[in-house]
Structure 1
Amino acid sequence: MRRTLRSEVKLGRYPASIGAMLRDRRDRFRGMLVLTEKAAGGNRTLLWEQFYRQVAQVGESLLRLGLRKGDVAAIYSRNRREMLVFELAAMSVGAVACPIFAGYPSGPLDYVLAHSAARLLAVSDDEHLRVVLSTRAARGLERIFIMDRFRPLEPVKDVPCARAFSALFGGVSLPKFERAWRRVRPLDAALLMYTSGTSGRPKGVLLSHRNILSHQRALELLWKLKPGGRVLSYLPWHHSFGGIFELFGALYSGAHITLDDSYGKDIRGLIENFKRVKPTIYFSVPRIHQALIEESRRCREAQRDIFHPDLCFVFTAAAPLPKHVADAYEEKCVPVVEGWGLTETSPCVTVTRFGPKRRPGAVGPPIPGVAIRIAKDGEILVSGPNVMLGYYKDPERTARTFTEDGWLRTGDYGDIRGRDLVLKCRMDGMFKLSNGEMVIAQNVENALVESPLVQYAVAVGSGRDYVGVLVFPNPEAVAAAARKRGLRVSAGLFAQAERVRELIKEELEKASRKIAEKYARPKAAILVGGAPDLANGQLTPTMKLVRSKILEDYSLEVDAMFASRGNGQDVARKVIRL
């Protein structure tokens, strides 16, 4: 079997630093729109000329405040103009930008601020400022800037008083700013991203200017995007999918970014924004793609707004896209492109091609400049200019993550088939049944979420006689399917409705038959009424399931699936035998 796969496309030349890229794009796209966001009384827009000037103004202010090469400047905010300007200004003058998840409460925020040793912090509003002031790490900050107008809060001892972000837009000396970015080198650190992680504390991934820009050059070679494209953006910039792939891809190609105020939560609002913006490319996670398809089937007007003539393709990552969702796009002649990678690879390693029919598990060939290798134990290794500098302040973890000859260990299993990488599972996503058979949990879960009625699934069975699965149904889809059969059921109470449980059982059995290994087909399932979310700790900020937390929270349900059938406990009576 083939063990190594390299891109056949050479990267060629690309800008040496973020500052160099911005200056080049300012010169090329001077009169074109770069950003639009909603504001009181209408939209707020920025042309490239204005945008570059604002980045330069803030960059010079940061230099005046004493920010030096390698210092960390953090941002605690939702996506907005000021966040983008501050982040790019910091990177341009040689500092390290550190975007922090806007939904973090004081605990994880305190950890990130302390671990990053951020000197400066920009926050969006009073609410975020209050959270900052409740942390011990706030005492280590030298300056805090707040983007919205605010009322001065009660001073906190040893914590700097917040200043208006507008103070950073002072006079500008372009030569001073440009001298600063010209001193920045490709391997200098640019971005510190804390991975949400499905267990333990977040890891600080340190990325260079070369990491970010080599990735954008690779996409330029693959997609040949023309300036003036339209991107409707809600993906959070603290995460690599939104903050590197989508954001820098748009900046690099000269696309116009419109910030989506639906934040991926209000599907009707998202479709209204689709109608207004008419994106030429749409980047999103499978959950939102699925919601768009479901809404397009319910409403003809929504279908017209989503599948408008200018939509060139949609991109998906972060989790497998259910086949029925991909098929729905392709029925409307909208290609689906999928990528695979990690924050540690800035982020994409592979991208599927236009044209060939999608194969289950296949995530395409390596992007230009990148190589993959399959280790003897099946782990996927990566080499290329997109691979991180290392984990911030953690040389031991960094050393463990690289092989002796410098390849990154991804923690994913896979193999090479033809010119494509095929994913199998995470290395920690397997378990062994009592008979010794090895089950890949993700394969089971992926098969089940192919059903529109299943929103999430968690397969269990380590040391057990068979596979069981916790099922989080899609309430709207279940209610719609029930109505088609003449069943009247509340979306919140379907788990107690016997006939609806039978409907879901049929779906699970149908989906299970697609699992090739019979021993991996679930023999028991239990419906879980409450959806995983950030508040209950069952989802990461990037919408990935925290398996350990779910298994802890539903330990009684897990035990019930493997209990004897005669067990009379209430929870045992909820088990669906398959």
Structure 2
Amino acid sequence: MAVQNAKDEVLDLDVLNHRPASCGHMLRDRVSESPSAVAYQFLRGEDMQNLTWQQAWDEVKVWAAGLVALGVETGDRVSIAATTRIEWVWANWGIMLSGGATTTVYATSNAEGVSFIVRDSGSRVVFAEDGGQVEKLRVRRHEMPDVTAVVVFDAETDGRRVEFDDWVISLEDFLARGRDLLQEDAGVVDRRVDGLTPDSLSTIIYTSGTTGNPKGAELTHEALVYEAVSVKSTGLLGPDDLQYLWLPLAHVFGNVLLMLAVASGCPTYVDGRIDRIVPNLAVVRPTWMGAAPRIFEKAYAAVDATLSEASGAKAKIASWSFAVGRRMAEVRQAGESPSKALTAQYALADRLVFGKIRERFGGRVKFFISGSARLDPKLSWWFASVGMPIIEGYGLTETSAATCVNRPTPGAHQHGSIGWPLPGTSIRIAEDGEVLVKGPGVMTCYHGQPEATAEAFTPDGYFRTGDIGEVDENGFVRITDRKKDVFKTSGGKYVSPALIEARFKSVCPVAGQFVVVGNERNYPAALVTLDPPAIEVWAQENGLGDKEYADIVATQEVHDLVARYVEEVNEGLNRWERVKRFAILDHDLTVDTGDLTPSLKLRRRKVLEKYADVVDGLYAAEH
């Protein structure tokens, strides 16, 4: 079944049909249209900086000229190995305006991983965040003969100063070269932009491969521009919005969010520090933010823990308010108008409860966008009840992030779905249930891997996503699992682990990760980790406050706590899906340990290999 523009949306077809030729053209058009409007916000020390579109253009032109001065030609690849920060944004725009193609490298990658991506992409220049990233490059320099220069953002970190030479240069030196070139040839950057076409390579983003080396997806300027203008055509964003951008810009989701803001003309606050998201929300006061489900799970757990402490009249008011909020959310999903009575009740619930919750998020959030992994519908309903809907979307590196997305308008949002395809994108469900995608946002190929590219597409040009899904009669798409993650028990029953995992994390306020196992086993089991801050608060309240994390999770009290939530999840599952045994690990799974991708997705195969002995222990009683 093929679905394209399943609903008659009100779209700005002029925006969609007359889109800029490249990302560089799109930025230049934005500067021309609203030069004095704020484009980017970021911190310099403790001071908030605000740059207009014109000021941002003046900045990134210098970066682009610096690359030209280093010998970067149109089509050359340039890598960025850094966390999300404003310099990442400047470097990315500098690369694109110079005619180059950005190759993204996660700052958490080890030296071997960095070397592979830089070498495989054929990068000529590398932007490195600090001395730690430089060291990774130095020890593998012999493997990267194409790299002619490394430009360092931070000359000194934690008292450790970078040693500069003819290969490693400072950011100041780099920018000075750019300014010098612009003095000699003021039109050099504009000529590079004029030479870009929709088919020009904009970026190579490497997948977070769970086995073997990652593959580099080549995305054209057409792909990124299409993503941006197709969202703009839906009216989702406008100049009065403010984005909070913390996601890894090395990830396709974060990268595309940058482009959405340019097309829509809304400013973006850039700060990649995950531990600062919650406190910064109240200060920055964004109207929207993209995030992975784990962020929403943590936010929900924190608010729910506070609400659960209420008693007496406060508890009754909270319970009543959320019942009213749920009814209002149901009316909005159906695209209906609420009754006068429900409108009045919601206004009271909003004054007593919901408004106070929204203030913790800055008080101006219109919606959140969730991507990277499945969002449990319970969380979606909860946030919608509060008045901060999460519009779940879907996409892959190979499809430039956004393939489908819900809309935050009545009748255009189905909880538990990933929404409608973007205008211009077609979805088809294969006979085995796999979701197939065709559209301008789909990659051209895997860099240097023609065989892998051929395997990734159907004969008629649809990209094979590897996800299992379905489409309902109203055109809403649902993803039910990863094709390779669905496993079969020894009894021949299929189990979808992602569904069970999402349900557990939505009901258990102290959950970290819940990894369901059971391939060719008699029954499903699970590896469990708990969120350190949440379980430490619980421990304080339950007489275990003097213990360390590893000791807390080893207690019978915590085992019983987890068991209650496992049982709650099991009640809603088929008999063969129920988790019969679990093991609580003495530490959480993190990006630093390699158990999660930088976008907080579970590296399932690596985790199962790493904890194979623990998994085997869960089934020891079978023998």
Pair in the same fold by TM > 0.5:
yes
Counterpart residue identity of residue 299, structure 2: L
Matching of residues 136-285 of structure 1 within 5 Å: 136-149=142-155, 151=161, 153=163, 160-163=167-170, 164-171=173-180, 172=182, 173-244=185-256, 246-260=257-271, 263-264=273-274, 266=275, 269-285=276-292
Aligned to 1:502, which of 529, 535, 560? 560
How much does 1:303 deviate? 3.6
Q: What SS is found at the alignment partner of 2:461?
A: coil
Counterpart residue identity of residue 92, structure 2: E
Q: Is the 8 A contact 1:32 1:228 kept in 2?
A: no
Structure 2 match to 1:50: 55
Structure 1: any 5+ residue segments left out of the alignment? 568-578
1:346 and 2:400 aligned: yes
Structure 1 match to 2:516: 459
How much does 1:507 deviate? 0.9
- Of residues 310-319 and 495-504 in structure 1, the stretch that sits farther from structure 2 once superposed is 495-504
Counterpart-to-counterpart distance in 2, 1:152 and 1:493: 41
Structure 2 match to 1:576: none
Q: 1:512 to 1:174 in 2, by over 3 A?
A: farther
Counterpart-to-counterpart distance in 1, 2:493 and 2:620: 20
Structure 2 match to 1:287: 294
1:449 and 2:505 aligned: yes
How much does 1:115 deviate? 0.6
1:407 and 2:462 aligned: yes
1:370 and 2:425 aligned: yes
How much does 1:187 deviate? 1.2
Structure 2 match to 1:5: 3
1:451-471 per-position Cα deviation (integer Å, ceiling 9, x unaligned): 223221111112221111111
Structure 2 match to 1:417: 472
Counterpart residue identity of residue 561, structure 1: L
Structure 1 match to 2:327: none
- Of residues 328-337 and 291-300 in structure 1, the stretch that sits farther from structure 2 once superposed is 291-300
Q: Relative to total residues, which structure has the larger helix share, 1 or 2?
A: 2
Structure 2 match to 1:398: 453
Q: What SS is found at the alignment partner of 1:184?
A: coil
Structure 1 match to 2:617: 560
1:29 and 2:84 aligned: no
Structure 1 match to 2:489: 433
TM-score by length of 1: 0.90
Q: Is the 8 A contact 1:447 1:512 kept in 2?
A: no
How much does 1:338 deviate? 0.7
Q: 1:534 to 1:487 in 2, by over 3 A?
A: closer
Structure 2 match to 1:521: 578
Structure 1 match to 2:316: none
Counterpart-to-counterpart distance in 2, 1:487 and 1:142: 56
Counterpart-to-counterpart distance in 1, 2:600 and 2:616: 26
1:507-535 per-position Cα deviation (integer Å, ceiling 9, x unaligned): 100111122x2211112111122111233
1:390-442 per-position Cα deviation (integer Å, ceiling 9, x unaligned): 11111110111011111101111111112111111111111111121122222
Q: What SS is found at the alignment partner of 1:320?
A: coil
Counterpart residue identity of residue 502, structure 1: D
Structure 2: any 5+ residue segments left out of the alignment? 308-354
Counterpart residue identity of residue 506, structure 1: R
Q: 1:154 to 1:29 in 2, by over 3 A?
A: closer
How much does 1:326 deviate? 2.5
Structure 2 match to 1:119: 124
Q: What SS is found at the alignment partner of 1:327?
A: helix
Structure 2 match to 1:546: 603
Counterpart-to-counterpart distance in 2, 1:347 and 1:13: 22
How much does 1:41 deviate? 6.0
Counterpart-to-counterpart distance in 1, 2:167 and 2:542: 63
1:530 and 2:583 aligned: no
How much does 1:223 deviate? 3.2
Q: 1:297 to 1:51 in 2, by over 3 A?
A: same
- Of residues 124-133 and 482-491 in structure 1, the stretch that sits farther from structure 2 once superposed is 482-491
Structure 2 match to 1:571: none
How much does 1:333 deviate? 1.1
Aligned to 1:130, which of 135, 138, 141? 135
Structure 1 match to 2:438: 383
Q: Is the 8 A contact 1:489 1:497 kept in 2?
A: no
Q: 1:487 to 1:102 in 2, by over 3 A?
A: closer
How much does 1:45 deviate? 3.1
Q: 1:59 to 1:507 in 2, by over 3 A?
A: same
Counterpart residue identity of residue 477, structure 2: L
Q: 1:514 to 1:547 in 2, by over 3 A?
A: same
1:141-198 per-position Cα deviation (integer Å, ceiling 9, x unaligned): 112222234556276xxx7242433324414244332222111110111111112223
How much does 1:6 deviate? 0.5
Q: Is the 8 A contact 1:69 1:93 kept in 2?
A: yes
1:353-394 per-position Cα deviation (integer Å, ceiling 9, x unaligned): 323496564211101110000111111110000111111111
Q: 1:165 to 1:80 in 2, by over 3 A?
A: farther
Counterpart-to-counterpart distance in 1, 2:530 and 2:278: 23
Q: Is the 8 A contact 1:4 1:374 kept in 2?
A: yes
Aligned to 1:330, which of 374, 381, 384? 384
Counterpart-to-counterpart distance in 2, 1:208 and 1:154: 34
Q: CA RMSD in A?
A: 2.4
Q: What SS is found at the alignment partner of 2:403?
A: strand
Counterpart residue identity of residue 60, structure 1: A
1:65 and 2:70 aligned: yes
1:104-152 per-position Cα deviation (integer Å, ceiling 9, x unaligned): 2211011111111111112222232122111133443112222234556
Q: 1:76 to 1:486 in 2, by over 3 A?
A: closer
Q: Is the 8 A contact 1:307 1:332 kept in 2?
A: no
Q: Is the 8 A contact 2:245 2:268 kept in 1?
A: yes
Q: Is the 8 A contact 1:214 1:386 kept in 2?
A: yes
Counterpart-to-counterpart distance in 2, 1:416 and 1:133: 50
1:56-103 per-position Cα deviation (integer Å, ceiling 9, x unaligned): 222233233332221101111222333222211221232111121112
Structure 2 match to 1:18: 23
How much does 1:504 deviate? 1.3
Structure 1 match to 2:551: 493
The alignment covers a number of residue pairs equal to 555
Structure 2 match to 1:573: none
Counterpart-to-counterpart distance in 1, 2:482 and 2:189: 44
1:492-517 per-position Cα deviation (integer Å, ceiling 9, x unaligned): 323321132112111100111122x2
Counterpart-to-counterpart distance in 1, 2:534 and 2:56: 43
